[in-house]
Amino acid sequence: MTTILAKHYSLPQKLFCGLKPTSQLTIASQPIKFKSVPECPVCDSRVVQNYGQVKVTVARRDVVLNYDECKECGSAFQNPVLPGKGRRLIYDESYMQNYGSDHVNLQSPNEHIWRMVMTDNRFQSLLELAPKRPQMYLDIGFGRGLTLEIAQLYGLKAFGIDVSYAAWQEAREKGLNASHGELSGVIEKGIIRPGSMDLITLFDVVEHYDDLMRELGLIRSILRPGGMLYLHTPDFSTSDQENKHRYFSLDHRFIFSQKSLRSVVEAAGFDVAECAPSQNIGNPDHAIHPAIKEDPRFEAAADYVEKKSSMLYEGHWHIGLVAFN
């Protein structure tokens, strides 16, 4: 299919002013036109201002993306925006090679252990924040499937869905319980029943959606009353002012602020319990799960894990949001 997601995630990117944004892109042999939006797609405010442009490399050619900033809710959004059809075309088999490898290079044993430790810690925090121990767990956009593996270590019945076929194939090879596609399709097929989930997580997913309100409505429909939702997404209200544009990329429609993410989740009918820099959600010092410590690669990775842990949250880059249905 396509090779669109070339290495355009080397961060931080350079921010430009006054460059003309790209108006059309050919993805998988299909010409896709970018669309201009007159108002903030999160809060409908027209009090928006140009924030700047970044250049990304797509199929060895420069693409200029423009982002506006909403003065009401503090989000940044792509404008003109690559329509949903275009974003869906980029989640093909090249996703895991290009996108996946930049972020989660699990070929490196050190990186693998580090990701396991980090995911383990985050998952333990979520278990502590849930008033009742969750049993049924869904991760939407599971990517490399680490949260599903970790959830299973804690005895949860873990299920994942992902729009990437390659991610689904990899999960299936690992024996994980996973479906390929979007949430609406999985619900329509009856794979997930209404009100059946105790805990649902979305790590680095909501910034990709066309219609977050619609997706949150679907999520609520499958979450049991009192069930818990956790969202993790890049933060435009980051304290790292010089790198606020670090997550501008072809498939990121929005970069939420803490204020805008909270308001959209509340508008969808959830009770938001916490919305903060992700490192402030829960306890940062959980004991590492014995199964991770017993991994033969663990000892060799100890220095790497310690170094990455100390670097990770400089400038806090992600929002963590905990909400209940």
Which listed residue (23, 30, 36, 45) binds Zn ion by CB under 5 A?
Answer: 45
Binding residues for Zn ion restricted to 68-107, rule: CB under 5 A: 70, 72-73
Return the number of the residue (128 or 266) whose C-beta is nearest Zn ion: 266
Distance of closest approach, residue 138 Cβ to Zn ion, in angstroms: 29
**264 binds Zn ion per the rule CB under 5 A:** no
- Which range of residues in 44-52, 56-64, 160-168, 205-213 is near Zn ion by CB under 5 A? 44-52
Distance of closest approach, residue 70 Cβ to Zn ion, in angstroms: 3
Contact 87, 25 (CB under 8 A): no
Angstrom distance (rounded) from CA 169 to CA 184: 20
Distance of closest approach, residue 271 Cβ to Zn ion, in angstroms: 22
Burial of 155 (0-12, 13-18, 19+ CB in 10 A): exposed
- Which range of residues in 67-75, 93-101, 160-168, 197-205 is near Zn ion by CB under 5 A? 67-75
Distance of closest approach, residue 255 Cβ to Zn ion, in angstroms: 12
Contact 283, 246 (CB under 8 A): no
Distance of closest approach, residue 267 Cβ to Zn ion, in angstroms: 12
- Which range of residues in 5-13, 62-70, 124-132, 317-325 is near Zn ion by CB under 5 A? 62-70
For 318, the token pair is 């992600």
Distance of closest approach, residue 73 Cβ to Zn ion, in angstroms: 3
* Strand partners of residue 27: 30
Which listed residue (42, 65, 212, 231) binds Zn ion by CB under 5 A?
Answer: 42
**43 binds Zn ion per the rule CB under 5 A:** yes
Which listed residue (40, 96, 178, 250) binds Zn ion by CB under 5 A?
Answer: 40
Return the number of the residue (42 or 171) whose C-beta is nearest Zn ion: 42
Return the number of the residue (49 or 241) whose C-beta is nearest Zn ion: 49
Distance of closest approach, residue 321 Cβ to Zn ion, in angstroms: 17
Distance of closest approach, residue 258 Cβ to Zn ion, in angstroms: 13
* Strand partners of residue 140: 161
Q: Please list, in sequence order, all residues whose beta carbon lies within 8 angstroms of the beta carbon of residue 67, skipping any fewer than 6 positions away.
A: 51, 52, 53, 54, 76, 77, 78, 79, 245, 248, 255
The terminus-to-terminus CA distance of the chain in angstroms comes to 39
Return the number of the residue (73 or 261) whose C-beta is nearest Zn ion: 73
Contact 306, 255 (CB under 8 A): no
Distance of closest approach, residue 69 Cβ to Zn ion, in angstroms: 9
Instruction: Classify the phi-psi angles of 74: left when phi > 0, otherwise alpha if psi is within -120 to 50, otherwise beta.
Output: left
* Strand partners of residue 136: 157
Return the number of the residue (42 or 140) whose C-beta is nearest Zn ion: 42
Return the number of the residue (73 or 216) whose C-beta is nearest Zn ion: 73
DSSP line for 216-231: HHHHHHHEEEEEEEEE
Return the number of the residue (75 or 121) whose C-beta is nearest Zn ion: 75
Q: Please list, in sequence order, all residues whose beta carbon lies within 8 angstroms of the beta carbon of residue 171, skipping any fewer than 6 positions away.
A: 142, 145, 148, 160, 162, 178
Q: CB count, 10 Å around CB of 295?
A: 14
Q: How many residues bind Zn ion (CB under 5 A)?
A: 7
Angstrom distance (rounded) from CA 318 to CA 245: 13
Q: CB count, 10 Å around CB of 303?
A: 10
**63 binds Zn ion per the rule CB under 5 A:** no
- Which range of residues in 33-41, 224-232, 264-272, 294-302 is near Zn ion by CB under 5 A? 33-41
Residues that bind Zn ion (CB under 5 A): 40, 42-43, 45, 70, 72-73
